[in-house]
Amino acid sequence: MPAPADIVKVAIEWPGAFPKLMEIDQKKPLSAIIKEVCEGWNLPNPETFALQNADSTNFYITEKNRNNIKNGSILRLTTSAAQMAQQLHERIQSSSMDMKLDALKDLANSSRDITFAQEFINLDGISLLTQMVESGTDFGDLLSFTLTAFVELMDHGIVSWDTFSVAFIKKIASYVCKSAMDTAVLQRSLAILESMVLNSQDLYQKVAQEITIGQLIPHLQGTDQDIQTYTIAVINALFLKAPEEKRQEMAHILAQKQLRSIILSNVIRSNKPINDEMAHQLYVLQVLTFNLLEDRMMTKMDPQDQAQRDIIFELRRIAFDVECESNNSGSIEKRKSMYTRDYKKLGFINHVNPAVDFTQIPPGMLALDNMLYFARHHQDAYIRIVLENSSREDKHECPFGRSSIELTKMLCEILKVGELPSENCHDFHPMFFTHDRSFEEFFCICIQLLNKTWKEMRATSEDFNKVMQVVKEQITRALTIKPNSLDQFKSRLQNLSYTEILKLRQSERMNQEDFQSRPILELREKIQPEIMELIKQQRLNRLCEGTCFRKISSRRRQDKFWYCRLSPNHKVLHYGDLEESPQGEVPHDSLQDKLPVADIKAVVTGKDCPHMKEKGALKQNKEVLELAFSVLYESDEYLNFIAPDKHEYCVWTDGLNALLGKEMTSEFTRSDMDTLLNMEMKLRLLDLENIQIPEVPPPIPKEPSNYDFVYDCN
């Protein structure tokens, strides 16, 4: 008798017959089980049949995934994947339009299953679909389902994108360029172009020749957010893959076509709420736009370059309303003395040759660009800051030059200039889409803030780093509310004065106050296990609620989801695919797959995960790497996760480690421990307020000379 663990009780359906309840021996070959099922219904040729999940996925059961069959699963006896692929391969070539349409619908649905996809691709099915597209004879639903099937088949990563002809690319591009095109066809065409660009440098060149930004812009002016999302995704892909020298040129074209203002009016300020995918694409566009600054940020100033030196002369001219003197006016020493005095007033570190200040990278020449922009476009504010500080006592002047250089460097760090966009981030700021020179305007607001904070702190040159820390805190706190415009950002900063920052810091410090006396430390140690147990229960409760995870591949945007949750008795992980992102909790019974906690061998994270070792775009992305974890439950079987954010990553890795009896080590656990421990300590010490707690316990009294004493109860 096989062990009970190898026996799975399932129901098997067959059209027109009563479902059959049977026990499947997982050690028995799948072909033998199918043969047994076929014999029960008197069906000949069992080799032409297969088992399939009778759920929304309809995925085939194979020797690789059969371990996912759980007790109570409902399976369906159906045509084998090879047979189905052969039939659909013939049917999509039918001369009858109705038969062809039905076949393409079935193909689009079946292609989501990798088992079927492999069989169809083996029949050279991808080539057949591309020929059908290239022929140009199909329109409407026929073309829509053809492209859908193509996208689903390519998503499995079985066929290289480099294999497609120029004729196919031209045809797909033509669907995007047409003004009146079926929405579904346009959506699939944009998705195909994005994947081509992201997955092949050679195809990027070909797509870039066929599609212009001007042809994509009209799709952003419609009302369909999905089309807008796919369009921005294609623009981002072209931007990302463009050679360094072409990115500035492309940015210039985007500015000419008023892409920013079109996105602002038709997407950001439209009546529809922005979904996660659109937020991600806007974030990517924001990152790629700011990354154009990297070249200037990493370019040192050449002190011998006269054109660059002229910019510094221009800053001096605007500030002090002086024209550059001719070489004959006055002695050389007098001119040098005058320049040195003015450069000192401008706040440069090197008063003799301020060009040396811009040799530090980052921020390099970007700092000088910002200063010149401020001087030209906000001239009154610039002159006021420079003259105001030059008239103060030396020790209290805010050095404009040095401040501008450090501030530019800080803003680049805050906006992560030069870093690749993250796969899971949706952190775009609407205010950066409200101005063509948003970074420069951002700098202009922040340099005025820095000057204001300097005065509020009554700072001296020794306090420079302290002021910069406060300014950084003011900026990051203001950015957290995602201002809709630069004016809103400015207003928020007005409310975050130095006094307000001190209040916020004090409030946070009081919440995190750490008592260091020995009795307090001993009490903390005593309470700590109780708090850790509380955190553990919270993590397990969150696992019981479950989380929706997005499936991500080399073509990121698939909108495919799966859900995982822990059973209330903490003994089983239930998981399964979803058609769309759920609005609330997903009940256990709708999740077909199960994994007993007792079968889990280990939890691995980051680059140790199997899905992070595979070739592809994910491997190169640092942030995705930080959100990846896998559950090992057989010698080589894994359940792979990519958490939606850092919080969910910490919750799940903590919860899984708690289930395995291991220590919870995430940064969120440490943070929760500190917060809860400090709260508990304060509650317990309420009665001791204003009472001095001694550093050492009071001495134990000496023993009495005798123990001949008794308490008389009478």
* Residue of 249, 215, 371 lying closest to 308 (CA atoms): 371
* 3-class secondary structure, 106: helix
Per-residue model confidence (pLDDT) at position 514: 45
Per-residue model confidence (pLDDT) at position 689: 63
Mean pLDDT of 631-638: 82
User: For the chain, how far is it from start to end, CA to CA, in angstroms?
Assistant: 78
Sequence-distant (≥ 6) Cβ neighbours of residue 355 within 8 angstroms: 301, 302, 303, 308, 309, 312
CA distance 89 to 93: 7
More confident residue, 709 or 316: 316
Instruction: Name the band, by pLDDT with cuts 50, 70 and 90, for residue 384.
Output: very high
- For the cut 80, the answer to whether the pLDDT of residue 520 exceeds it is no
* Residue of 485, 484, 454 lying closest to 468 (CA atoms): 454
Per-residue model confidence (pLDDT) at position 71: 84
Sequential DSSP letters for 550-564: E---SS-----EEEE
- Strand runs labelled E in 378-510: none
564-590 pLDDT tens trace: 999 999 999 999 888 777 777 888 777
| Sheet strand arrangement including 7-13 | 20-25, 7-13, 74-79, 49-53
* 3-class secondary structure, 605: strand
CA distance 31 to 682: 66
Entry pTM: 0.74
Q: Is 202 exposed, middle or buried (0-12, 13-18, 19+ CB in 10 A)?
A: exposed
3-29 pLDDT tens trace: 466 788 999 999 888 888 988 888 889
The per-residue pLDDT of the chain, averaged, comes to: 87
Q: Is 332 exposed, middle or buried (0-12, 13-18, 19+ CB in 10 A)?
A: exposed
218-276 pLDDT tens trace: 999 888 899 999 999 999 999 889 888 888 888 888 888 898 999 999 999 998 899 98
DSSP state of 60: B
Question: Cα 239 to chain center, whole Å?
Answer: 18
Mean pLDDT of 89-103: 91
Per-residue model confidence (pLDDT) at position 617: 44
Instruction: Name the band, by pLDDT with cuts 50, 70 and 90, for residue 690.
Output: low
Gyration radius of the chain's alpha carbons: 34
Pairing of strands 7-13, 74-79: parallel
CA distance 563 to 341: 67
Q: Which two tokens stand for residue 687?
A: 């009665």
Mean pLDDT of 89-110: 92
Packed helices 97-110 and 140-155: angle between N→C axes, nearest 10 degrees: 30
CA distance 254 to 286: 13
Instruction: Name the band, by pLDDT with cuts 50, 70 and 90, for residue 393.
Output: low
CA distance 219 to 548: 31
- For the cut 60, the answer to whether the pLDDT of residue 328 exceeds it is no
Instruction: Name the band, by pLDDT with cuts 50, 70 and 90, for residue 510.
Output: low
Report the DSSP beta bridge partners of residue 65.
none
